Amino acid sequence: MKTFVLKIDPLTGEDYYEVYVRGRQLLNNAHLNKASAFTKEERLSLGLDGMLRPGIATLESQLDRTYEAFLRKPDDMERYIYLSGLLDRNEVLFYRLLQDHLDEMVPIIYTPTVGQACMQLSHIQRRFRGIYITPENIANIDQIFHGLSQPQVNLIVVTDGERILGLGDLGSDGMGIPVGKVSLYVAAGGVHPGVTLPITLDVGTNNPRLLEDPLYLGIRKPRLRGAEYEELVEKFVLGVKRNFPGALLQWEDFAKQTAFKNLDRYRERILSFNDDIQGTGSTALAALMTAMRIKQSRFQDERYVIVGMGQAGTGIALNILAMLKEEGLSAEDARQRIFAVDMQGLLLEGDPLLEGPQEPLAQRRAWVDGWKLDDPSRIGLEDVIRNAHPTVLIGVTAQPGLFSEAILAETAKHSARPIVLALSNPTHKCECTPEAVWKATDGKGLVATGSPFEPMDWKGHTLQASQCNNMYIFPGVGLGALVCKATRVTDGMFLAASKAISEFVTPEQEAMGLLLPEMKDIRKVSASVAKAVGIEARNAGLGRLLDDDQIGAVVTRAQWVPAYPAYRPGTLRYED
């Protein structure tokens, strides 16, 4: 049943919520609850008289109280639990607090702390958010969606929990990721929380720790595979299309093979994208664009070693390949500049382990003839570094310390300003620290990491590594696709987003080594990305026919500001 709708008073032009719940129901609704900030009029008209203490608070005084409580928590996990509880009680207050303290709180509600939270989710869960779709209830998906209390759904983030960050199969405990991503859509992109929906496809788990944990709340069976799994996903997508035909569907933290298959199968059928593939690739590309500007270099002047060819690594490599082609290189010339390394070593043509998206990235065997190898049967990372002479080193392996002092020193030999993107998270999974890069390069290395690191004083000036966080990309891409009414999300939209982000980095920030904007500007960055996506959608014939300024104005108007709206009591009618 809907609990409210947004309306406009035809006489005064005032925006307000027409609210259909009363009393305790209203106080227990996280989106509608104002707690001590309900006005006298609202308390009387909505059945709250006597349920609240007499004092009427402002949002600002509530913020002071909640931030004080946040600071009292002894560690990051307790802070995560506290913020999750606040989100479950009062969404407006949660998002305003988050918006006011982004640098401090994003690492709590998302990486790195969300990984720890997902590892323990069945042990720390207080309330359930979102929807769980299972093989047992997939037949009832229409009833499940009809039972939602929000007026409409425009944005869905869905996972099946098989590849959560660098932590692997966490089953339905992976719900922390869609919940966190939705929070970032709201805080960073300005998407209204009332139109968002996190979903987990609970199809079992192959994680023995979870299967043996008496407190685990998910399905205690091995993962559904093959045709049965694909049929469930198909029914899920069809259910989304029937019930929310204009919604954007973001695929999140699926295993590599499943992720590419779902993206290819549904990207033309429903407005959707995969953040792990396209979002990570686009964010890394933005960082590389800035690095090229700092170095006064071109993409074709560099040589790239990318280690870890899962979704993120493949997405990054394909983005670099596209940029090389945009600069005029042939597919073959572009291919010779990218050295993709996975578990079997350097990807080579004819390798039986190659998967479809990786084939354009495999090196020709003739190109590596004559290389000096430690083991003639395999070309390992050290072999690639020694023979390929990379100037750009990218890691998405979840192998801490993989980029050793020797590897960094060898990379530094081939460029005055080598670029190192150590992108695995949480923090303890990072391939190297920024400090290690700066020591190996005498402070000249350009660094981005997957998790945040503190700035460092180096010979009298401050060096800072950017956090290559997908929140620079996906909130703006999602907002832009929705407000311009795009019919699909294209690679061109992600390229436009990368350019918009890189252009946001100022010369002063570049002097500190930053490759991406500062987190405090994330809403402005998201608006810029959304505008660029809207323009690209229009130019490709996939979005609204508005001029550039009109698209920018629509984006700005669409960005939700966490504030308490006025409420008026209403009576729900069946046609609502």
Tell me if residue 110 is catalytic. yes
Alpha helices in 47-138, H assignment, sequence order? 59-71, 76-89, 91-100, 102-109, 113-119, 121-124
Which are the contacts of 251, defined by CB distance < 8 A and separation ≥ 6? 158, 159, 259, 262, 263, 272, 273, 274, 275, 276
Cα-flanking dihedrals φ and ψ of residue 197, to 5°?
-150, 110
Alpha-carbon distance of 471 to 477, in angstroms, equals: 10
Question: Percentages helix, strand, coil for the chain, rounded to the nearest 5?
Answer: 50, 10, 40
Tell me if residue 413 is catalytic. no
Sign of CA dihedral 493, 111, 175, 155: negative
Alpha-carbon distance of 295 to 285, in angstroms, equals: 15
Q: Could you give the dihedral angle defined by the CA atoms of residues 308, 309, 312 and 317, in that order, rounded to the nearest 10 degrees?
A: 110
Binding-site residue positions for (S)-malate: 163, 425, 469
Cα-flanking dihedrals φ and ψ of residue 229, to 5°?
-65, -45
CB count in 10 Å sphere of residue 555: 26
Nearest to 31 by CA among 94, 83, 110: 94
Please write down the HEC assignment for all residues of 303-334.
CEEEECCCHHHHHHHHHHHHHHHHCCCCHHHH
Tokens of 556: 């700005």
Query: What b/e readout covers 465-490, taking b as 16+ CB neighbours within 10 angstroms?
Result: bbbbbbbbbbbbbbbbbbbbebbbbb
Alpha-carbon distance of 97 to 76, in angstroms, equals: 16
Alpha-carbon distance of 251 to 247, in angstroms, equals: 13
The pairing of strands 4-8 and 15-19 is antiparallel
Alpha-carbon distance of 534 to 552, in angstroms, equals: 8
Catalytic one among 17, 20, 110, 567? 110
Alpha-carbon distance of 473 to 273, in angstroms, equals: 12
Alpha-carbon distance of 566 to 430, in angstroms, equals: 46
Sign of CA dihedral 139, 144, 146, 151: negative
Q: Are 448 and 463 contacting, i.e. CB atoms less than 8 angstroms apart? A: no
Cα-flanking dihedrals φ and ψ of residue 131, to 5°?
-130, 140
Binding-site residue positions for a divalent metal cation: 252-253, 276
Catalytic one among 17, 34, 95, 181? 181
Alpha-carbon distance of 533 to 530, in angstroms, equals: 5
- So which residues are the catalytic ones? 110, 181
